[in-house]
């Protein structure tokens, strides 16, 4: 550490960073979500991460897939009379491949432009969950499109899907969001990293699976990508866990006149803020919890910031660090 930042030197080849890309790095709020927009957004997000790679860091990229899974489910629903609809775990696998392709291509092109000879590959990643996780008894994660009340009732009756009203915007399907236990492809990812390959993994939190006596089985659920990214960072023995999101720093009293931005949060303070409801479950909560879990498991540093401030955050000039 130097002034609270990472030690960014050319001899950093043994340093491993797991970097979780926020959704705004792929689809921005004003976008329609076209493939061209997604490629452009990822390309525009490459350079701060490539700066780390150029300095010798080994990197694993993870990412969200919420809008893409929603689109996949909508396509399945619209075409249900023509082709059999896909279950949610298969939609997750499908979008891991789609987004992996966009990220691989965008990074490879930018690496080549900068004269860096480096391979990048996507691992379609399965993540084990516990069948006794209470999330399966209480689905809370909204996914997919908004429906009218009438259409929601039809869908629920036809498929048994749990439907809830979502913030006055309409009705949406909700699914379980269990906590991740372990990353099935972790050894494969380690081999790739040992061969100096950039890895894209745990897209959208990974494909939720159950480990049963007969083998692995996919299950309809959504795993939070920050929780899964933290588990991956822990299992890989990563030095740094970096969460890139839509804000430069984590705040308490967010959006209020008393808002206070935080440069560093101790584990104890983070837990107290979580208990006080400062970090909601649907936004900053999972990021803070994942960062705390990573540090408690022996990780060196966890940083939360926006992608455009990554370089400054790595130097300790901005961003929020979770510290012991």
Catalytic residue among 287, 309, 316, 319: 287
Query: Tokens 């499908």, residue?
Result: 94
Q: Are 225 and 92 in contact (CB under 8 A)?
A: no
Check residue 10 and give its pLDDT.
41
Query: From the CB of residue 158, how many other CB atoms can be counted at a distance below 10 Å?
Result: 9
Catalytic residue among 100, 141, 230, 299: 141
| 157 catalytic residue (yes or no) | no
Domain limits, the chain: 16-130+183-323, 139-175
| 246 catalytic residue (yes or no) | no
| 75 catalytic residue (yes or no) | no
Catalytic residue among 22, 41, 205, 225: 225
The predicted-structure confidence for 266-307, as pLDDT tens digits, reads as follows: 999 999 999 999 998 878 999 999 999 999 999 889 999 999
Per-residue pLDDT of the chain (324 residues; tens, 9 = 90+): 334 555 544 456 689 999 999 877 898 888 888 999 999 999 999 999 999 999 999 999 999 998 899 889 889 888 989 999 899 999 999 999 999 999 999 999 999 999 999 999 999 999 999 999 999 999 988 887 788 899 888 888 877 888 988 777 889 889 999 999 999 999 999 999 999 999 999 999 999 999 999 999 999 999 999 999 999 999 999 999 999 998 999 999 998 999 999 999 999 999 999 999 999 887 899 999 999 999 999 988 999 999 989 989 988 999 999 998
Beta bridge partners of 63: 21
Distance CA 302, CA 37 (A): 30
The tokens describing 100, both together, are 């992996």
CATH topology of domain 16-130+183-323: Carbamate kinase (3.40.1160)
Check residue 3 and give its pLDDT.
42
Check residue 4 and give its pLDDT.
55
Check residue 1 and give its pLDDT.
38
| 66 catalytic residue (yes or no) | no
Catalytic residue among 5, 23, 66, 319: 23
Q: Is the pTM of this model over 0.85?
A: yes
Distance CA 284, CA 250 (A): 8
Q: Are 99 and 181 in contact (CB under 8 A)?
A: no
Distance CA 166, CA 183 (A): 31
Query: Tokens 């935080």, residue?
Result: 262
| 23 catalytic residue (yes or no) | yes
Check residue 6 and give its pLDDT.
54
Q: How far is CA 49 from CA 3, 25, 68, 266, 310, in A?
A: 21, 12, 23, 26, 8
Distance CA 115, CA 94 (A): 32
């Amino acid at each position: 550490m130097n002034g609270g930042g990472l030690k960014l030197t050319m001899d950093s080849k043994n340093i491993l960073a797991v970097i979780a890309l926020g959704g705004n790095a792929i689809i921005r709020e004003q976008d329609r979500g076209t493939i061209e927009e997604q490629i452009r957004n990822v390309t525009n997000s490459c350079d701060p991460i490539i700066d780390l790679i150029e300095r010798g860091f080994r990197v694993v990229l993870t990412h969200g897939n919420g809008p893409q899974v929603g689109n996949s489910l909508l396509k399945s629903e619209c075409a249900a009379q023509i082709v059999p609809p896909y279950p949610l775990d298969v939609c997750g696998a499908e979008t891991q491949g789609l987004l992996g392709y966009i990220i691989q291509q965008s990074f490879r092109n930018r690496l080549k432009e900068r004269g860096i000879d480096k391979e990048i590959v996507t691992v379609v990643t399965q993540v084990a969950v516990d069948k006794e996780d209470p999330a399966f008894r209480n689905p809370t994660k909204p996914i997919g499109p908004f429906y009218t009340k009438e259409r929601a009732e039809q869908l629920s009756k036809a498929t048994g899907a749990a439907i809830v009203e979502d913030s006055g915007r309409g009705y949406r399907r909700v699914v379980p969001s269990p906590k991740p236990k372990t990353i099935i492809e972790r050894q494969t990812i380690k081999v790739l990293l040992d061969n100096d390959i950039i890895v894209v993994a745990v897209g959208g939190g990974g494909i939720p699976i159950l480990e049963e006596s007969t083998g692995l089985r996919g299950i309809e659920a959504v795993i939070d990508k920050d929780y899964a990214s933290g588990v991956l960072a822990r299992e890989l023995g990563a030095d740094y866990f970096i969460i890139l999101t839509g804000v430069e720093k984590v705040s308490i009293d967010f959006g209020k006149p008393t808002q206070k931005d935080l440069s560093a949060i101790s584990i104890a303070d983070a837990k107290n803020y979580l208990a006080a409801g400062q970090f909601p479950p649907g936004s900053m909560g999972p990021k803070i919890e994942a960062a705390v879990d990573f540090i408690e498991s022996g990780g060196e540093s966890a940083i939360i910031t926006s992608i455009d401030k990554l370089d400054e955050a790595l130097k300790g000039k901005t961003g929020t660090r979770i510290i012991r």
